[in-house]
Structure 1
Amino acid sequence: MKNKFGPAITLGFALFAMFFGAGNLILPPFIGLKSGSEWFAAVAGFFTTGIIAPFLGVLTVVLFGTSFTDLGRKVNPFIVTVLASLIMLCIGPIVAIPRTAAATYEIGIKPLLPGFNNVVFSVVFFAVVIFLSVSQSKIVDIIGNFLTPFLILSLGILVVMGIMNPPDVSKITGISTQESFVFAFHEGYQTLDVLASVIFAGIIISAAIDKGYTNSNDRFKITIAAGLISMAALLFIYGGLIYLGAHSGYPMSENISRTDLLLHISNEVLGKNGTVVISFAVALACLTTAIALSSAMGSFLEKFTFGKINYKVGVVITCLVSAYFSVKSVEEIIDYAVVILAFVYPITFALILTLLFFGKIIFSKTPFVAAVVTAALVASLSVFQYFNIFSEPVEQINSWLPLSQHQLGWLIPSFLVFFITAAINSGRKKHFKSINSD
């Protein structure tokens, strides 16, 4: 019998580090600051979209294959390929990877070396990413066995010290328990982890196969174990950072810099050493995520181009494009990412949820395609709203959609269309069976 504990720890730590990038580090303290005394409700909200939802993405992929594109067998290969391309651009060279470099520069380098040029830093950062990403088979072990323990240790010191000796008391900010939950729920989208989960699942499953878990049942168990370990680690770090944000005593203003807030907390908790510790943590968090995402993008390009762009060339291309976007500030990247996420998130989530709940009992592809298309149509309203196109009709439609105020306006229409399509398909099958029997 295989010893699953060691591999599960390695895979779980690797998955944690893949998820825990720039957004995961700078968002929770900001959420805590805004929530104040209602910080616990904020933890619950962020837990929902920042931890549970990504875990469902991993679960869906391992249930139906070994990679995200395998879901095409259950839905439609073309739709899943297009969606995979959009996801890879979001979590790859346009948003997520550049944000890792920008965050490392703003939090990890600039406070220690104020005169260090951000362009030079981007070149160095992505040179390291390329060096550590080219050996595809060793990536999970490098991240899980070496980089992640140091990451958890540095963040753990900050969280434990902050909880034992909070810099300030939590303030009543005027935000209710429900508002705090909803705000954190919305901020959880910015982690990009639901999108990343369906791609990271493939990396973890591939690593499990390399470790000898070739049987589908064993592969499922080890992947779920890794997912639960990563969830526990994420909850500890997220909860601690939200708590520290709530107790930071940082002045509230309209233009709060998330990176400045994190630096303030680290200095208040750890004194002069705070900047060094948080710089180390940021560098590791962002580096591990950048490595995982660059590797995923390299693999995707190789598969998408049928080998014309090999893995190593794909990694280099990804890093070059990412370096170009990384010279923007973290806030600028977050701002332009909003509209992209507002479109891609609902489509991905609709696919995950319908497959997870009904993929084993409904075998027709039509209901799943209908649900995804419906989610895409509703999501396009957010794009129109962002660019102020058809503003009045769009606002009116959004006012009719249940849960639209929580960015979940796609949820009920997608499931409604799914059920209607499934019922029609079932009726047709019964009709044809009746004709054939006659």
Structure 2
Amino acid sequence: MKNKPSSNIITIGLAIFSMFFGAGNLMYPLYVGLHSGANNMYGMFGFLITAVLLPLIGLIAMILFDGNYEEFFGRLGTGIGKTIIFLCMLIIGPMIAIPRIVTLSHTMIAPFLPITLLQEVTTFSSFVFAFIFLGITFLATFRENRIVDLLGTVISPLLLLSLFSIIAKGIFTGQEIIHISALPWDAFVANFIRGYETLDLLGGIFFSSIVIHILKNQMGGMVGMNRNRLAIIGLKAGALGTSLLAIIYIGMSILSLYHGHDLTGSGDLFRILTFKIMGSHGALVIGTAVLMACFSTSIALSAVIADYFQVHLFNRKVNYELSLLIALLLCVPLSTFGLDAVLELTAGPLLYIGYPVLITITFCNLAYKLFNFTPIKVPAVATFIAALVSYFYL
């Protein structure tokens, strides 16, 4: 693969798609159609801005920083930068993202599981499921240099095949669209904010470090002389991955628009809706879609957090494998709290105050690399104050 840049682009592009497309991404696009009705176009436009365009911008900005998130956040000051990185790691790791993946996957596939104990979602069954799920994640993430190949050549094709099968059948068997009274502007704003909950801007920033690291290894000694080439390959792969995201999101919103009658925005909406479309014989397709989506993002997030633990928390005194094990064990407690509890954390002030600040930092850093725009502290503080006031008082 070292001598075939086009193969790199396709493999890494598919890997980027599967990294982004996790548990929440099986829910939130369905909510767009379900809550927007005839104004689905406006709702999806808002959602695509924050769930596709922003992650791509974050990826581009991070590529310009050569995948170095310390330098990316360090422009705010060393102490502040390290604090923000630590908070981001909590969000994408044991505090929100990985527990959400575990609880949502259990909720969605519980009826299909062969073990009777796991077919009902309880605290104990969630504990057992979390150990099984995270154990498999550990085995898949154990060899760090194989992650992109695993995601790009195995998990992504299976995920895309299962999703396209569901979407295609759903479109061809569509009923009358659901009737929702949402106005175009309301649909746009609601789903613009809903895109925050995918957490994919964080993914764009932190996944890029994995992609760049692997791409450098594949290109070998050429990288020092061909940094522009590395950036171009990364950008093309990012564009491919996020384009696939957009296509799937649009298709999924159409599914809920035409098949979402009498359904609510619950955590198992994807399973209920796809059963309605595929019938009982579609269990294999549904299960494949859920597991591939959940494992792909779990693997990528775990690799990012393990690398952070090894390098920054343990100062390389602990190897990658032990760092990975510790990171995954820290994800177990919240994974037993149930889906509703984890989703409440996702929609909390940490996200709705922190995410606008992260957006501002991303745009300031992009402008810094492209146009030598140096201000970052004042815009970040101003955004923080505005978001704080908006969340608590408006």
Q: TM-score when scaled to structure 1?
A: 0.82
Q: Give runs of aligned pairs for residues 257-268 of structure 1, distance below 5 A.
A: 257-259=266-268, 261-268=269-276
Of residues 147, 160, 165 in structure 2, which corresponds to 1:157?
A: 165
Shift of 1:112: 4.6
Shift of 1:293: 0.4
2:382 equivalent in structure 1: 374
Please give the alpha-carbon distance, in whole angstroms, between the structure 1 residues aligned to 2:321 and 2:171. 43
1:245 equivalent in structure 2: 256
1:41 equivalent in structure 2: 42
Please give the alpha-carbon distance, in whole angstroms, between the structure 2 residues aligned to 1:372 and 1:312. 36
Root-mean-square deviation (CA), in Å? 1.9
Deviation string 1:240-262 (CA, Å, 9 cap, x unpaired) is 11110111143156xx4131x21
Larger radius of gyration: 1
Within the alignment, does 1:313 sit opposite 2:313 as a pair? no
Q: Give runs of aligned pairs for residues 6-405 of structure 1, distance below 5 A.
A: 6-72=7-73, 74-112=75-113, 115-116=117-118, 117-166=125-174, 168-212=175-219, 214=223, 215-251=226-262, 256-259=265-268, 261-305=269-313, 306-339=315-348, 340-362=350-372, 364=374, 367-381=375-389, 385=392, 395=393, 398=394
1:211 match: secondary structure? helix
Aligned 8 A contact 1:27 1:258 in 2: no
Residue type matched to 2:205 in 1?
Answer: V
Highest relative contact order (Cα 8 Å, sep 6+), 1 or 2? 2
Aligned length: 380
Which segment is superposed worse, 183-192 or 117-126? 117-126
Aligned 8 A contact 2:74 2:81 in 1: no
Which segment is superposed worse, 72-81 or 367-376? 72-81
Aligned 8 A contact 2:126 2:338 in 1: no
Aligned 8 A contact 1:57 1:194 in 2: yes
Q: TM-score when scaled to structure 2?
A: 0.91
Please give the alpha-carbon distance, in whole angstroms, between the structure 2 residues aligned to 1:301 and 1:288. 20
Residue type matched to 1:145 in 2?
Answer: T
Please give the alpha-carbon distance, in whole angstroms, between the structure 2 residues aligned to 1:172 and 1:289. 34
2:122 equivalent in structure 1: none
Please give the alpha-carbon distance, in whole angstroms, between the structure 2 residues aligned to 1:101 and 1:110. 15
Shift of 1:104: 1.0
Please give the alpha-carbon distance, in whole angstroms, between the structure 2 residues aligned to 1:195 and 1:20. 13
Residues 9, 38 of structure 1: CA spacing in aligned structure 2 closer, same or farther, 3 A cutoff?
same
Please give the alpha-carbon distance, in whole angstroms, between the structure 1 residues aligned to 2:372 and 2:80. 18
Deviation string 1:121-150 (CA, Å, 9 cap, x unpaired) is 111101101111111111111111111110
Aligned 8 A contact 2:104 2:267 in 1: no
Please give the alpha-carbon distance, in whole angstroms, between the structure 1 residues aligned to 2:301 and 2:45. 27
Task: Tell me the percent identity.
Answer: 27
1:388 equivalent in structure 2: none
Aligned 8 A contact 2:106 2:126 in 1: yes
1:257 match: secondary structure? coil
Shift of 1:57: 0.4
Shift of 1:274: 2.8
Deviation string 1:14-41 (CA, Å, 9 cap, x unpaired) is 1111110011111111221111122122
In structure 1, the gaps of 5 or more residues are 386-394, 399-438
Please give the alpha-carbon distance, in whole angstroms, between the structure 2 residues aligned to 1:351 and 1:135. 32
